[in-house]
Amino acid sequence: MSERDDRAAFLAANDVSRETLDRLDRVIDTLDVWRQKSNLIGPKEWPQIWTRHVGDSWQLLDHIPETAHLVDLGSGAGFPGLIIAAARSLGHVTMIESVGKKCAFLRAAIQEADLSAAVHQGRVEAAPPIKAEFVTARAFAPLPELLDYAAPWLRKGAVGVFPKGERWNEELTAARQRWNFAYEAIPSRSGGSGVILIIREVARRND
Ligand SMILES: C[S@@+](CC[C@H](N)C(=O)[O-])C[C@H]1O[C@@H](n2cnc3c(N)ncnc32)[C@H](O)[C@@H]1O
């Protein structure tokens, strides 16, 4: 399947407004240019960029209000941060990423697609205070460590929206050793036995 066919498959499965599609196209076009000069995304991944990476990010939107302020940890090539910013023009997304070349791409995509978003270059654990009611992170860290990274926001009442793979239940059990929290596990539409974990009311055990 070509990237064009993959885009058509994504659009057949998801309701995307004309304005949002225009922003998504600009983000993916920018990624196409930048991936030629850096290893943001592998050539084997490219033919499924829409159904796999955009689609995986898109399903988080069910849990993120229109005007949300959100922080995305370890944004890499912009999944899910850039996709959420493209779909939530009334909100604001801050992406935290430690690798300079990836940050340069993220900034270029924000500019090309005119997104309400910003990039903080640096390690999540050393980030300055950033206002956010929602935290996302995809393929960033196992849940126990992810809760440590996201604690500055979650402990102040932010909601975590985390796509997780088939071992999510083991990660949840391990996270329970260190943290108290409420959660919902919503089956992923990306196939397999992965879920979207919605995490609330986070407090360190013995707090
Ligand atoms: C496996 S990639 C996932 C990227 C993207 N979220 C995705 O799903 O395609 C993890 C990203 O996190 C970044 N990263 C790893 N540890 C980090 C840290 N402590 N602070 C900020 N970024 C970090 C890496 O540079 C990399 O871009």
All structural domains of the chain with their residue ranges: 3-204
Helices (H), the chain: 3-13, 18-35, 55-58, 81-87, 100-113, 143-154, 168-178
Per-residue confidence band for 207, with pLDDT thresholds at 50, 70 and 90: low
- Residue nearest (by alpha carbon) to ligand 1 atom 24: 74
Pair 95, 106: CB distance under 8 Å: yes
Q: pLDDT value at position 38?
A: 85
With a cut of 90, say whether residue 35 has pLDDT above it.
yes
Question: Residues in the chain, how many?
Answer: 207
Q: Annotated binding site for S-adenosyl-L-methionine: which residue ranges?
A: 74, 79, 124-125, 138
Report angle CA 176, 195, 19 to the nearest 5 degrees.
125
Sheet holding 159-164, edge to edge: 117-121, 92-97, 69-73, 134-136, 159-164, 195-204, 179-187
What residue type is assigned to position 76 of the chain?
G
Report angle CA 163, 167, 168 to the nearest 5 degrees.
45
Does the C-beta of 100 come closer than 6 Å to ligand 1?
no
What are the tens digits of pLDDT across the range 189-198? Answer: 987 899 999 9
Q: pLDDT value at position 192?
A: 85
Q: Chain centroid to CA 144: how far?
A: 18
Nearest one of 118, 116, 101, 106 to 19, comparing CA atoms? 116
Mean pLDDT over residues 142-155, rounded? 97
The mean pLDDT value of the chain amounts to: 96
Contacts of 36 (CB under 8 A, 6+ apart): none
Ligand 1 centre distance from Cα of residue 37 (Å): 19
Does the C-beta of 162 come closer than 6 Å to ligand 1?
no
Mean pLDDT over residues 56-81, rounded? 98
With a cut of 90, say whether residue 39 has pLDDT above it.
no
Q: pLDDT value at position 12?
A: 97
Q: pLDDT value at position 34?
A: 96
The residue with greater pLDDT, 37 or 88, is: 88
Interior/surface letters 13-43, b for 16+ CB within 10 angstroms, e for the rest: ebebeeebbebbebbbebbeebbeeeebbee
Question: What single DSSP character describes residue 49?
Answer: I
User: CATH topology for 3-204?
Assistant: Rossmann fold (3.40.50)
Does the C-beta of 139 come closer than 6 Å to ligand 1?
yes
- Residue nearest (by alpha carbon) to ligand 1 atom 13: 74
With a cut of 80, say whether residue 206 has pLDDT above it.
no
Does the C-beta of 77 come closer than 6 Å to ligand 1?
yes
Q: pLDDT value at position 67?
A: 98
Does the C-beta of 124 come closer than 6 Å to ligand 1?
yes
